[in-house]
Amino acid sequence: MKKASRLLRLAWVTALALPLAAVSSAETPQPVAAEAGKADFLALCAPCHGEDGRGDGPAAAGLAHRPADLTHIARNHGGGFPDALIFETIEGLDMPASHGTREMPVWGDVFVGEAVGSSVSLDTAKKAGAEAGRRIEALVAYLKSIQASD
């Protein structure tokens, strides 16, 4: 299992390191709609962060640290939404110290694992990395859309 995990991480890092143009030069980047990330948010994030993103999901009580209120990300960063930082946090390759015991799953690994399945070919890894990136971008867009306006 450790070897498979290492191969999966290698595939993920390799896929992210390659330019997006190498994934498919025929694809034109499309803007990511917030609604595209809502289903992943409700299925993956809401158990801890709550359906409204306020950190009060049903699994929150069982965690060592209360999940963040995701509706105040922009406010906590001086009014601007830090897209790249939130992408990196969800991706999980550089897990922030605030997650301490890694209570938050490394979603980048999960998304790549779902896309790759049992294959570890470079082509499959590149496609899986691109798909994982699209899903994370959609989650970032959704989080940006639920920011409190206070």
DSSP string, 33-82: PTHHHHHHIIIIIHHHH-TTSSS--TTGGGSSSPPP-GGGHHHHTTTS--
Question: For residue 98, is pLDDT > 90?
Answer: no
pLDDT at 30: 52
pLDDT in tens, 113-150: 787 776 667 788 888 888 889 999 999 999 999 999 87
pLDDT at 93: 75
pLDDT at 35: 87
User: Quick one: residue 85, left, alpha or beta (phi over 0 = left, psi -120 to 50 = alpha)?
Assistant: alpha
Tokens of 139: 């989650």
pLDDT in tens, 104-116: 777 877 777 787 7
* Type of residue found at 11: A
pLDDT in tens, 7-65: 445 444 444 444 333 333 344 445 568 888 999 999 999 999 999 999 999 999 999 88
pLDDT in tens, 49-86: 999 999 999 999 999 889 999 999 999 999 999 999 99
pLDDT at 21: 34
* Domain positions in the chain: 2-19+32-145
pLDDT at 41: 96
- Which own/partner pairs from 102-111 qualify as long-range (CB within 8 Å, at least 24 positions apart)? 103/48, 103/63, 103/64, 103/65, 104/48, 104/67, 105/44, 107/44, 107/136, 107/139, 108/12, 108/132, 108/136, 109/8, 109/9, 109/12, 111/135, 111/136
pLDDT at 29: 47
Question: For residue 1, is pLDDT > 70?
Answer: no
